[in-house]
Structure 1
Amino acid sequence: MSVFESSKGKIIHLEAIRILAILCVIYIHSGYRGHEAYTCTDSRVTFIVSLILACITNIGVDLFWMVSGAVLLRKKEDAATVYTKRIPRIIIVLLIFSVLRYFYDYYMMTYGSMVYWSEAYGINAGAGGADIGIGDFITRFISGRIFLPYWFLYFYIGILLVLPFISKMTRNMNLTDWKYLAAVELVLVFIGIMKVLTGVELAVPIFIPDSVCAFVFGYMAESVIPGDWISKGRNIVGIFGASVIMIAFEVAITLTLGDPSGDSGIVYTSILGQIIAFNVLLIARGISLKINRSPKRIASIICYVGGCTFGLYLIEDYIRQMLTFIDDKLSPVMTVMPACIVWVICSFVVGTIVVGIIKKLPGIGKLI
């Protein structure tokens, strides 16, 4: 079986990227226990490891955008398909899980830590929950204030609204057009770096959101970059080396110009994140092309777990919070960062099992 595509038509290395992306997202959500541990530690080792991992894992969301772009833009779906199938599905998922989250937060404020939950998610329970109701839910749902991590779904709906037009654009771009687009992206990144170094901001507005750029560049990594070029070992090694240098640069600029250990939290751990994410896609594709065959069992496991990542994104907060005791128990024994990594992996494994069970349920299983 080809590493590139499974028997069900899934691109295996992209499913592997989905798995990497959700692991990054879960780690990002670990907050001060891991992802932002550099802001509140006296250990030099914890400080450096946490800062480096922050630079690496901050590519998680861009990886999700790029995988979606690589998959959806290859399908060349028309507006009718996108507007009648894809967008309604995401809206239904968002509505269902927003309702669950709304009542969950209400329960936590009523029977759990009211101060924590009200401050974290902005729900005003008032006197005995007077402000909670259908009107409050609708207002918060429309404005995206039910649960902060669900911002991704709102952005995803926004991208889907313009997906048919982005698809036509990418299909009609020749190689020269792609080179110009890549050059523009590099210039914008350079301008962003110069803003950090000099404090001078470009007056020309940028109208294309980063999420849309990531969508398009995901397609570029998968369908535009020549396969015979990316599959060469020296190119894979070169791209990996460049990525390591970029991560080192993010760490260095944060240490020299930022304030990672202070209350201000000034860091530059994602200033090159989109390029690094693009490189990860190229490396994964290059390796998949270089390895001609993959054991069927490994391919099926990757595809199955990759298919659970969307559902895991929706429920990982519940699972992670439920398993916080793992980090609490291990931190005094293993120190902060190893304990956090074990916690994240356990959250991923348990969450995947739960999603696998949910996917077997009629109706909702097909949505996630």
Structure 2
Amino acid sequence: MVLRKERIFYLDELRAIAILLVLLAHTIKYFPVNIDYLASPTLLSYLAISRMGVPLFFMLSGALLLNKEYSISQFLKKRFSRVLIPAAFWYIILFLSVAYVNAFNFDLVSIWIYDAPFPWFVCAIIGIYLLMPVFNSFVKEHGTKGAEYFLFVWFIFIILINLHLTEEYYVTLIFQNFGVYMGYVVLGYYLTNKEFNIYSLPMAIFSSLIFIICLAINVYNAWNFTTIVYIESISIIIQCCALFLILRYLAKFASFNPKSALSKLHTFIEKSFIGTVIYLFSICSYTIYLMHEHIINLLSQYYPITSFDLVPVVFVLLAASSLIGAVLLSKIPILNKLVGVH
């Protein structure tokens, strides 16, 4: 586990926001019971807000792992152990819980094993890690200019997807199942390292306006059943960029203007209980992702709700219980090596 003082706080803020948005998306998916979230304008509005969660995780991978010095073997060994060991651990826990619920009826359990999906995000991140050394070499050689070239090509394909001009199966296979994710990775690196010729505070304000406008449009469209946004939607890409730049440039402004009120507020948040919670959500994000469906199953059994008005309450319960559970597990010897906290 990296010491808190050695971490970049705005990246921890982004990771904490990302995992909370993933929890919100899954709260919408599983709660309330017997209501189709695609038929509810309220739930679709929540969905429009939560869509940024997964893209932000991919962007953080690029921000932290591209343009670095490492051997391929060292990189793959470290990354795969950090991803696969916790995923296997929680998959085994899920298997045992399913077996227990089914009274160890091995016919039912075997059906579950055949049908149960492995977490798609784990599969996606494995694919990204396999290709990361290639992109790392490219970025090391060409820097932000190389990233700009890739992002230009990527955005052209994004436009084609949004215009529904990529229906051929091979384009879908090559690009939508890989290119969208890797594009976010390169985008995260680019937004972390590109120096824009704009002062920090105006950049943060401008990015905030763009973020609010895109979010308002997405919520309005969702409320009126006009458009359902996905991670390849242009508006989601713009929102993620705007949020990334807001937090980056607020942190930059605070560091260069230590006597300003904004800097004092930023320092207070980072050093206070709020900052501790943000840090814990960040380092526990992967564990929370892997374990939260177990908590959802428990909540759905003991706290079933049939009204979407209580979605915020369930979301808070899910976030709090997931964080507490992850922190407690990280304190237990041996388990702390398996659950995925880092």
Please say if 1:158 is aligned against 2:127. yes
Aligned to 1:22: 19
Please say if 1:214 is aligned against 2:184. yes
Contact 2:208–2:246 (CA under 8 A) maintained in structure 1 = yes
Q: 2: CA distance between counterparts of 1:257 and 1:325?
A: 31
Q: What 5-or-longer segments of structure 2 have no aligned partner?
A: 256-262
Aligned letter for 1:347?
L
Relative to structure 1, the CA distance from residue 286 to residue 6 in structure 2 (aligned partners, 3 Å threshold; closer, same or farther) is farther
Secondary structure at 1:226 match in 2: coil
Distance apart, 1:343 and its partner CA:
1.2
Aligned to 2:151: 182
Relative to structure 1, the CA distance from residue 179 to residue 68 in structure 2 (aligned partners, 3 Å threshold; closer, same or farther) is closer
Contact 2:59–2:184 (CA under 8 A) maintained in structure 1 = yes
Residue by residue, what CA displacement relative to the aligned partner does 1:218-268 show, whole Å, maximum 9, x if unpaired?
Answer: 111112x21663x5222222222223333344456667785x8xxxxxx33
Residue by residue, what CA displacement relative to the aligned partner does 1:69-118 show, whole Å, maximum 9, x if unpaired?
Answer: 2112254332021222221332222222111112222333x26xxxxxxx
Relative to structure 1, the CA distance from residue 253 to residue 181 in structure 2 (aligned partners, 3 Å threshold; closer, same or farther) is farther
Distance apart, 1:147 and its partner CA:
4.0
Distance apart, 1:358 and its partner CA:
0.6
When structure 1 is superposed on structure 2, of 304-313 and 185-194 the one drifting more is 185-194
Q: 1:268 aligns with which of 208, 223, 229?
A: 229
Q: 2: CA distance between counterparts of 1:179 and 1:85?
A: 28
Secondary structure at 1:268 match in 2: coil
Aligned to 1:79: 72
Please say if 1:362 is aligned against 2:333. yes
Q: 2:60 aligns with which of 61, 67, 73?
A: 67
Q: 1: CA distance between counterparts of 2:147 and 2:82?
A: 31
Please say if 1:95 is aligned against 2:88. yes
Relative to structure 1, the CA distance from residue 364 to residue 163 in structure 2 (aligned partners, 3 Å threshold; closer, same or farther) is farther
Contact 1:66–1:278 (CA under 8 A) maintained in structure 2 = no
Contact 1:101–1:146 (CA under 8 A) maintained in structure 2 = no
Relative to structure 1, the CA distance from residue 279 to residue 78 in structure 2 (aligned partners, 3 Å threshold; closer, same or farther) is farther
Distance apart, 1:24 and its partner CA:
0.9
Relative to structure 1, the CA distance from residue 6 to residue 91 in structure 2 (aligned partners, 3 Å threshold; closer, same or farther) is closer
Distance apart, 1:58 and its partner CA:
0.8
Please say if 1:130 is aligned against 2:129. no
Relative to structure 1, the CA distance from residue 39 to residue 256 in structure 2 (aligned partners, 3 Å threshold; closer, same or farther) is closer
Q: 1: CA distance between counterparts of 2:98 and 2:302?
A: 23
Q: 2: CA distance between counterparts of 1:245 and 1:202?
A: 30
Aligned letter for 1:25?
V
Aligned to 2:141: 172
Give the superposed CA RMSD: 3.3
Contact 1:16–1:306 (CA under 8 A) maintained in structure 2 = yes
Q: What 5-or-longer segments of structure 1 have no aligned partner?
A: 42-46, 112-124, 261-266
Q: 1: CA distance between counterparts of 2:77 and 2:68?
A: 16
Q: 2: CA distance between counterparts of 1:78 and 1:132?
A: 41
Q: 2: CA distance between counterparts of 1:300 and 1:191?
A: 42
Aligned to 2:38: 39
Relative to structure 1, the CA distance from residue 52 to residue 244 in structure 2 (aligned partners, 3 Å threshold; closer, same or farther) is farther
Aligned letter for 1:191?
L
When structure 1 is superposed on structure 2, of 202-211 and 87-96 the one drifting more is 202-211
Contact 1:324–1:343 (CA under 8 A) maintained in structure 2 = no
Query: With structure 1 as the length reference, what TM-score do the two structures score?
Result: 0.74
Aligned residues: 316
When structure 1 is superposed on structure 2, of 80-89 and 319-328 the one drifting more is 319-328
Secondary structure at 2:142 match in 1: coil
Q: 1: CA distance between counterparts of 2:276 and 2:30?
A: 35
Aligned letter for 2:312?
I
Q: 2: CA distance between counterparts of 1:288 and 1:169?
A: 29
Aligned to 2:320: 349
Distance apart, 1:68 and its partner CA:
1.9
Distance apart, 1:354 and its partner CA:
1.0
Distance apart, 1:320 and its partner CA:
2.7
Overall identity of the aligned pairs, in %: 20
Q: 1: CA distance between counterparts of 2:216 and 2:272?
A: 37
Q: 2: CA distance between counterparts of 1:351 and 1:341?
A: 15
Aligned to 2:243: 280
Q: 1: CA distance between counterparts of 2:128 and 2:65?
A: 11
Q: 2: CA distance between counterparts of 1:16 and 1:239?
A: 16
Aligned to 1:116: none
Secondary structure at 1:130 match in 2: helix
